[in-house]
Structure 1
Amino acid sequence: MGSWRWKLRRLMAMSPREVALRAARLLHDRLAPLPQALPTETWQRWYPHVHPDTILEQLAHRLPLHPEVLPESERAHLLVEADALLLGKWRLFGYEVHLDNPPHWHRNYLLGKDWTDAPARRLDYRRIDIAGGVKYVWELSRHQPLLRLAQAYALTGEACYAETCLRWWLDWLERNPRGWGIHWTSALEHAIRIFAGCYVLRLLAAKQPLPLPSGERIGVRGLLGSILQHGEYVERHLSPGSSANNHLIGEAAALAFAGSLLPDSPLTRRWRQKGYAILEREALRQFYPDGVNAEQAFGYLPFVWEFYLHAYRLQPIPDAVAERLRKSIEFVRNVMDASGYVPQVGDEDDGTVVPLWSTHANRYRVVGRALAHLLHCEPPPALDPADDALCLWLFSETPPAGSRLTESRLYPEGGYAVLHKGPWQVLFDAGPLGLGSLAAHGHADALSVWASLDGKPLLIDAGTYAYHEDPEWRNHFRSTRAHNTLTLDNREQSEILGPFLWGRRARSGFLAYDLQQHTVEGFTDAYLPDHIMRRVHLKDTQLLITDTIEWDAAHSAQWHWHFHPDWQVEPTADGWRITDGTRICLLRVEGLPPDIQAHLYRGDEQTKLGWYSPRFGHKIPCTTLRIVLPVPDEVNMVRWEFAIPFDFTFCPSMVQFP
């Protein structure tokens, strides 16, 4: 990632204004760096006459929490997770690891490797040769384990939780002084720690006094001062220009949040003004009027929702911002299937901000329901008691039951169509690659189709799996062939230039639609001078997909269909039989010659086909059907029919909930 070629490509994605801004920022950091002060000294610099106990009392008033209303099941889940932490057991992206006491904060616990202990300005967090992907080190220092321990203390009053929480936090401050180490290289990570720090203090302060270790030098002033230091860093390093995606929303939300909670001063007034102004502007830029997020990455929706939820819990929300967020919740209610599954369109890294809920909750539902409560709109349905945990903690109320939106709709700005008919629910993509000049979190998925049958995902997105730490798999999972669409001559629709950087981009759009007839048609110019169109139609119990190719220069076509791991696919005399043991679907194709090349892949390491990433860092085998038309000849229209056998009847009891 440090190569001159990547740096040149990255520079070319910036505007002249952004280049000048970054150069000025670099010069400013060199000539006038932030003071190398202890957190206690930072607190004294800004608030020499404010006693920290006053702040803790104000936190209880400004940041109310309601542990007493949690259902017993959720309370029990949280305490199990907190007790595991006391034993050093923690789950890192779903993998159980054993932490030291206190943890080694620079360690990738999956690999057992540590980041270099050096000034932050000398570290390139994109490097993977030191301790693997940096996310595996950053995750622990988002302070979410501290949050869980603080919750357990608020729920039980048992000192062991608070003592461990504070000892770990103080150790983090000791080993990560301002400007030192890998944790001082990302403004977004600082922003998340601001939220975590404020909520941890609020939870611990519920029972006074704080059980600080005896002889501790830093104390409450140091804890508050560390939040100030994080805010100062964020304000200086707001994501500019081409990087202004969900990172900027998170950074602005942290300034607004801290500026609203800490004592009034010129500093906090500036943070409030700047933070809320950016949040309002970015809501209108990063959410289309139809509710689709411009990053074209569904997995980042609940992450961004959290930032808006916590920031506007403290201040009235502007009407324009509220409307965009309501539309985004409505969009998710429309694409969510009956099992609660949301197609994994674009990147997803399971990011959270203040996960007050247990691991039994679903991010879309638990955050969406709390945000809907704030916005006074219809929430997504709750499919588990944990899905209401965040709303109960923040507002002491349970939202309405909620519902899915089960009508066919077009999202013209975002570039999606959602079709509902009978047992089928289908999502069709004819939208842009992603946001801004990077399109960092978009995938090459133009004209892709995702489908659920009888409330269960059938045609899926392969997922994300990796970021910096595994370039080959990173490129595969966002490639065209990792999606339910077609390629010509095995070429990518858009040009991959780096893990979060695209070059030439496909342009896609809608050609026609008739939602009453559950029909939509789109195009992409990915392979000019060849043209591709795709028509998707729900007819009775059939999903019909028709691909039209206007040939010019290409010499072959390839189709890939990716099936959820629960489904088995086997060839038949006239197509393929797809079943999960209860449901059955038959796939037939028309318009292709008999000598096509058709192969089924399952967990193939060589081709990388037949893999599904259900969450960041994980991949499991699934079935991928690859069909190759080596010589186009006269073929210009191919029709795919996913049909339910005439003698098979679905019933609502078949729908399985997670």
Structure 2
Amino acid sequence: MSWGRWWRTVRSLPPEQLLARVWFRLYRPRPNLASPPPPRPVRGRWVAPPPAEPSLVGPTTFRFHGVEGELDVVGWDGPQRTRLWRYHQHYFEDLLADGAAARRPWHEALLRRWVADNPPGRGAGWEPYPTSRRIVHWIAWALGGGELPAEAVASLAVQARWLERRLERHLRANHLWANAVALVFAGAFFLGPEADRWLARGLALLMRELGRQILPDGAHYERSPMYQAQVLRDLLDLENLAGAYPDVGAWAHARTTWRARLPAMRRFLLGLTHPDGEIAFFNDAAFGVVAPPAQLEAYAERLGLGAAPPLEPGLLHWPEAGYVRLSDAGAVALLDCAPVGPDEQPGHAHADTLSFELSISGRRFVVNGGTSTYEVGPERRWQRGTAAHSTVIVDGEDSSEVWASFRVGRRARPFGFAATPLDRGGWRVVCAHDGYRHRPGAPVHRRAWIWRPGELRVEDVVAPARPAEARFLLHPAWRLEGTPQEGVASTDGARVRWRVERGHARLESAHYHPRFGATEPTTCLAVALANGQAIVRFLWDAPCTSSS
């Protein structure tokens, strides 16, 4: 154990968060098995949310992250499956998945079995986060026409009481947010003083976390497009819930507050979406965990929230989040000039400062490596590390000290951001970071992106000069020809040329992780900096524009 690394990890945590961690470990409440309150009458309309991907492939056979498990063989707990697989097993997402109506008999039997097999307070299924997600999914299923067995209704009340006393104040971030959402769902679903307490407590916590976790520019403070989508989905579900229970007086202030924040949140998510309709891979991010942005937008419109305005071409900057979008008719570049995450919870951070992704003709070309696992081990360590991202690595070390599954010690801090317009609609974006300040000479990495129609020039400087390498991970769909110093990539009629104008290039095998449990072979263009400098130019055919 490195005590220095531990100190660098915990020194940014507020004292009350450290105390909450101690309390969470020591305090073990007893489950309250009292009879449930009566259900609240539904006097409004529940709108169908975006469907999840099916995960129940047989009456008791689950498939998560490409791995199947038969309940009688793998059970509900144990080392036969990863912790994340177990979490999803307890979420009951398949209740809301494509084709769920045809699996209703399976669902009803599985609900009864879950209650019978999972005694209150025991096992992974009763940890606060899966409890929160399950409460929401069970209630959403009931509002959508499913009939919860009596034992499941009774269990819902036990789960809400348990969750109320196991809030994840020690973790904060998306976990505490999910706890608040679940309490609101439980408080709306049931009727009576106990339910009113859950509702009031959930709404109060939600309003506090909305102010803390959602930045003024609409970004969720963990700066993961995947969790941005999840938090946005949660607020849309709450808007849906308020429509189903319009006679609940407690909604008024909270609903006004979250409605005021939704437009900026939607815009930020769309801004970090590629032309293929899927999210960018900054920090922990993968496809298939949350509905794609277009489905969330359609959901918002079904809820009466209107269509989001289209994104303007050129430069869009989210200053509090630290991300930039450059776009024209032929290409989109997404730039990471952001902190790795909030000091109180950077658990989903990657060492990806000053990385970027680039789409050409609607197809991803330069990418970050993505996320396929949360399990402790070399693969998780690699996927969070700097070398798995399209940025510069110095002295073979990560720009932020990522370790274990969700820990970060020393953190890169971006500074010196500037965006300058150029002729012909071009832009020059510059930013630096101090993630290598602990190395000899305290080197600083500074990157400039020069964007013009049909061209992106990337200039990297490490000063004072140290052994460093600019890495450009290329999407596996592209075929490469030429030499490492100058070549052509092509796919489905699209072509991109690269030219290394300063630095010594090589092409090496790499991996791309678009989903949990998925790994695809690909190629990385790696450019060793020459005297602390590298220049790489990407060129493509810009669409013709007419003037009048």
Q: When the two structures are superposed, what TM-score results if normalisation uses the length of structure 2?
A: 0.87
Contact 1:465 1:615 in 2 (8 A): yes
CA distance in 1, matches of 2:459, 2:43: 59
Give the match for residue 519 of structure 2. 619
- Which consecutive residues of structure 2, in runs of 5 or more, have no partner in the other structure? 243-250
SS at match of 1:544: strand
SS at match of 2:43: helix
Q: In the alignment, which of 455, 467, 470 is matched to residue 374 of structure 2? A: 467
CA distance in 1, matches of 2:273, 2:384: 21
In the alignment, structure 1 residue 92 sits paired with structure 2 residue 92: no
* 1:8 Cα deviation from its structure 2 partner: 7.7
Q: In the alignment, which of 312, 316, 323 is matched to residue 260 of structure 2? A: 323
Contact 1:291 1:324 in 2 (8 A): yes
Give the match for residue 307 of structure 2. 378
Please tell me the residue identity of whatever aligns with 1:244. Answer: R
Alignment of 1:253-402 (within 5 A): 253-265=181-193, 267-313=194-240, 314=242, 315-316=251-252, 317-348=254-285, 362-371=291-300, 373-374=302-303, 376-379=305-308
RMSD: 3.2
Contact 1:59 1:202 in 2 (8 A): no
Contact 1:431 1:509 in 2 (8 A): no
Q: In the alignment, which of 139, 160, 165 is matched to residue 88 of structure 2? A: 139
Contact 2:384 2:402 in 1 (8 A): no
Label 1:449 to 1:263 Cα distance change in 2 as closer, same or farther (>3 A).
same
CA distance in 2, matches of 1:149, 1:458: 31
Give the match for residue 450 of structure 2. 537
Q: In the alignment, which of 462, 487, 502 is matched to residue 591 of structure 1? A: 502
Give the match for residue 639 of structure 1. 535
SS at match of 1:622: strand
* 1:187 Cα deviation from its structure 2 partner: 0.6
CA deviations over 1:376-428 (Å, ceiling 9, x no partner): 2434xxxxxxxxxxxxxxxxxxxxxx745534211111111111134221111
Label 1:135 to 1:550 Cα distance change in 2 as closer, same or farther (>3 A).
same
Contact 1:330 1:405 in 2 (8 A): no
Please tell me the residue identity of whatever aligns with 2:444. Answer: H
How many residue pairs get matched? 528
SS at match of 2:217: coil
Give the match for residue 165 of structure 2. 236
CA distance in 2, matches of 1:500, 1:550: 30
SS at match of 1:294: coil
Give the match for residue 31 of structure 2. 34
CA distance in 1, matches of 2:335, 2:463: 21
CA distance in 2, matches of 1:318, 1:335: 26
CA deviations over 1:22-56 (Å, ceiling 9, x no partner): 43444442xx5234x4xxxx22xx54xx5xxxx3x
Alignment of 1:74-153 (within 5 A): 85-86=57-58, 90-93=62-65, 95=66, 97=68, 99-100=70-71, 105-106=75-76, 115=78, 130-148=79-97, 151-152=100-101
Please tell me the residue identity of whatever aligns with 2:239. Answer: Y
Contact 1:424 1:543 in 2 (8 A): no
Label 1:334 to 1:300 Cα distance change in 2 as closer, same or farther (>3 A).
same
CA distance in 2, matches of 1:27, 1:334: 43
CA distance in 1, matches of 2:8, 2:211: 28
Give the match for residue 246 of structure 2. none
Identity between Structure 1 and Structure 2 (%): 23
Contact 2:277 2:292 in 1 (8 A): no
Q: In the alignment, which of 482, 486, 493 is matched to residue 399 of structure 2? A: 493
Label 1:522 to 1:192 Cα distance change in 2 as closer, same or farther (>3 A).
same
SS at match of 1:408: strand
Give the match for residue 129 of structure 2. 188
Label 1:583 to 1:233 Cα distance change in 2 as closer, same or farther (>3 A).
same
SS at match of 1:167: helix
* 1:268 Cα deviation from its structure 2 partner: 1.6
CA deviations over 1:98-151 (Å, ceiling 9, x no partner): 635x78542xxxxxxx51xxxxxxxxxxxxxx3342111221221123445994
SS at match of 2:499: strand
Give the match for residue 164 of structure 1. 106
CA distance in 1, matches of 2:21, 2:436: 35
CA distance in 1, matches of 2:99, 2:165: 30
Contact 2:457 2:535 in 1 (8 A): yes
- Which consecutive residues of structure 1, in runs of 5 or more, have no partner in the other structure? 107-113, 116-129, 154-160, 211-218, 354-361, 380-401, 603-609, 653-658
Label 1:535 to 1:310 Cα distance change in 2 as closer, same or farther (>3 A).
same
Label 1:8 to 1:234 Cα distance change in 2 as closer, same or farther (>3 A).
farther
In the alignment, structure 1 residue 179 sits paired with structure 2 residue 121: yes
SS at match of 2:141: helix
Q: In the alignment, which of 480, 485, 489 is matched to residue 386 of structure 2? A: 480
Contact 2:62 2:89 in 1 (8 A): no
Q: In the alignment, which of 440, 462, 476 is matched to residue 549 of structure 1? A: 462
CA deviations over 1:568-598 (Å, ceiling 9, x no partner): 2233385122122521111112233xxx3x3
Label 1:164 to 1:431 Cα distance change in 2 as closer, same or farther (>3 A).
closer
* 1:13 Cα deviation from its structure 2 partner: 5.8
Q: When the two structures are superposed, what TM-score results if normalisation uses the length of structure 1?
A: 0.73
SS at match of 1:135: helix
Q: Which has the higher strand share?
A: 2
Bigger shift: residues 557-566 or 342-351 = 342-351
Please tell me the residue identity of whatever aligns with 1:454. Answer: S
